[in-house]
Amino acid sequence: MTQNSKKSHILPNKTKIDHYIIDSHIGHDSNGEIYTVYDERHEGPWAMKVEMKNNKKHSLTEEIQCLQILRGSPMFPEYICNGETNELKYFIMELLGPPILLIRRSLPDLRFTQLTVTIMAKEMLKCIEELHKRGYIHRNIKPGHFLIRPNRQNPVVLIDFSSSRRYTDIKTGNLLPPRPNPGFSGSCSFSSMYAHEGKELGRRDDIFSWIFTVIQMVDKRLPWPGHKDPEKT
């Protein structure tokens, strides 16, 4: 997220958006801010993602479409509704957490045990596989995009579909042809070599990013510097 949007787009607590009231700001991605909210009847809490209409980039509409297709699976947050005002667009979803990233950072030696990593890695891979079965690739797999749900059957949930893209035709199910110059997509440290080369991404690239995520969970860091500059990485 840009420095400017961080300064100007974080809404204060108690801000009312339609019939939802912001309780606290809990995070952000490249295109939006995420808040804990209640409604006017004090029902909730839910998570609200907000995208300002004056942002340079817009992905909320596509993310809503993705979440609607993912409905019914416990491996993704439950989509509830969406709306807009004169200044912004938003959607409401299930409140989950904390992220695996924050859990790791809270550990004394900043790493999980191998048994924990094995269990969590398998659950993360199940989420990615289910996303692929629904016709989407994530294109930004990393530790911060996996949250914990208090459920033994499905304890890990994949979030943030602002970079996601269909890789199959919605009518035929056939693979979509690669675009000639799609550009870079993802997080620099966790992206595949194909992403850094600006090539069209596919299911394999989500798996590469999953492998890099698992490496960090075990070793505390990746074997390359975590720069935002693809060349340095």
Q: What is the pLDDT of residues 118-174, one digit of tens each?
A: 999 999 999 999 999 999 999 999 999 999 998 889 999 999 999 999 999 989 999
Judged against a pLDDT cut of 60, whether residue 201 lies above it is answered with yes
Cβ atoms 23, 45 nearer than 8 A: yes
pLDDT in tens, 52-102: 998 888 899 999 999 999 999 999 999 999 999 999 999 999 999 899 999
Amino acid at 159: I
Average pLDDT over residues 27-41: 89
Q: What pLDDT is attached to residue 211?
A: 97
Q: What pLDDT is attached to residue 34?
A: 96
Lowest mean pLDDT among 5-9, 124-128, 158-162, 197-201: 5-9
Name the DSSP class of 220: S
Gyration radius (Cα) of the chain, Å: 18
Q: Tell me the three state secondary structure of residue 165.
A: strand
CA pair distance 184, 144, nearest whole angstrom: 19
CA distances from 159 to 41, 95, 97, 148 (A): 27, 11, 10, 11
